[in-house]
A and B are shown apart, each in its own frame.
Chain A
Amino acid sequence: MRKLILTFSAGLAAMFSYGAIAAATAWQQADHIQVRLLSNVDTLSPDSTIFLGLELKPDEHWHVYWKNPGDSGMPIKFSLSDTPALQKEKLLWPIPEKIPFGDLTNFGYEGQLILPMQVKVSKVDDTTVIKSDASWLVCKESCIPGKASFEMQLPKGQSLKAAAEEPEIRRFAAEEARELPLMQGQMHDEGDHLSIELFARKPVFKDDSVIEFFPVNESLFSASAKAEMKWKNNFLKLKQKKSDSFFSVPELISGLLVIDGQAWEFSFKPSSN
């Protein structure tokens, strides 16, 4: 009997530790969305770079938002909290979709999404507790704000050990925009419209390319207006209607150009002319 109890409790302990130490937390159900935290590694080692992932599954036809949500909405927030051994370096935003709603257009995501976070690991204990907070706005015709806190425990390892979640996180991380190096960028205020001229360092604009534009700045372009674009080799000009909340040209202009499925992000300081 005693032996039986021992075996039983050992089994229980194994179950609990399996539940606590894992590269994915349990799903949390919020209004119209499920969320959980993922890691691309099963073990942590000091002075390394890992990727956490916030996985969101909105209900069918509901959506969450990109870093510029467009005409309305609110970007997803995803951060580390109270985890001094880890430093957030950046979020790797997957390519958004244009989601029309009445007269408005939003930039966001329908369906499953993993938002990867690049994290620097400085030192590690035998077991590191990773704490993370997330908040979002999930919308269909109405919008519901939500938030969640996660805790994940990862043991120290000799080296990083890839987790089962690694390929899924990589798949979304691969959509992160590459930097588009510019020789020059200009913005012109044309009354109801703004235009941008880009001279890239590389001839990335092919004659038969399919190019889509997403402004990174808010309150700059109307998200529901279509960009008129012309391009050749390393030159691109685009013109789009101003946002209703446009007031002045910001100090730094950034935008995303999705060229034949590859995202490029450009940034420039408009000259004062």
Chain B
Amino acid sequence: MKALKLIVASALLVSLSGVALAVPAVNKPAPDFTAIDSNGKTVNLKDFAGKKVILEWTNADCPFVKKHYNSDNMQGLQTKYTEDDVVWLSVISSAKGKQGYVDGKGANKLSKDRGAAPSHVLLDPEGTIGKAYGAKTTPHMYIVDEKGTLKYMGAIDSIRSADAADIPKATNYVNKAMMELAEGKSVSEPVTQAYGCSVKYK
């Protein structure tokens, strides 16, 4: 009986810590989600099993996002990887009425205006996906491999600034991780501190 109690207690502890730790861990399964994209289509992470998935948290009015879009840096990455059969998901977790919030139509117009080339733009005004991934900033980048394992989370690059002139001098962590994965290596810097504007959750 005593042993049983112990087991129950430890099971409870595990589930409690599961709730408290909203932050995913690298080399563990990436949090699954179901989302509506900007065209009203339902998108599930599991739909992309067998492909690499890159998630990008974005907010078009954030100066750090502008740094990477006005310089064509983000669009360049989107084009490069989607042409290579990688799924690119841009996620907008800004709540209604907050900076960066758009509806589906607005998101499509935005993609057209800034020449963005993601596979899908996911609308997350409730912040459900953002909080499951522990997304803190825009941009905040994640890489999920073919088996659904989280391989990278953090900053887009190594120079924390809002100045586009720093992009060529910086190490792009997404490129670095993708290259290491392509070579069958483990990601050498799998977690970095993301920089940017805070995600405008509700």
Contact = CB atoms under 8 A, between A and B. Distances in A.
- Among B192, B194, B198, the most chain A Cβ lie within 10 Å of the Cβ of B198
B194 A245 contact: yes
A74 B63 contact: no
Interface stretch (B33-41, B74-82, B118-126, B160-168): B160-168
Nearest to B192: A245
A244 B136 contact: yes
Question: Which 6 residue pairs across A and B have the least CB separation, nearest first?
Answer: A145-B162, A247-B191, A245-B193, A244-B23, A219-B193, A145-B63
Nearest to B160: A74
Given A143-B63, A147-B163, A72 B198 contact: yes
B160 to A, nearest CB: 5
Nearest to B21: A192
Interface of A: 71-72, 74, 101-102, 104, 135, 137, 142-145, 147, 192, 218-219, 243-247
Interface of A is mostly: loop
B99 interface: yes
Interface residues of B, number: 26
B53 to A, nearest CB: 20
A74 B195 contact: yes
B21 to A, nearest CB: 8
B137 A245 contact: no
B139 interface: no
A246 B161 contact: no
B163 A218 contact: no
A244 B201 CA distance: 18
A217 to B, nearest CB: 10
Interface of B: 17, 21, 23, 26, 63-64, 99, 134, 136-137, 153-154, 160-163, 189-195, 197-198, 201
Contacts of A144: 63
Contacts of B136: 71-72, 104, 244
7 contacts: A72-B136, A72-B195, A104-B136, A104-B198, A144-B63, A245-B191, A247-B191
B133 to A, nearest CB: 11
Contacts of B197: 142-143
A192 B20 CA distance: 11
Contacts of B160: 74
- Among A74, A137, A219, A244, the most chain B Cβ lie within 10 Å of the Cβ of A244
Contacts of B201: 102
Contacts of B162: 74, 137, 145
Nearest to B24: A244
B161 A142 contact: no
A218 B193 contact: yes
Contacts of A245: 153-154, 191-194
Contacts of A101: 198
Given A144-B63, A145-B63, A244-B136, A219 B192 contact: yes
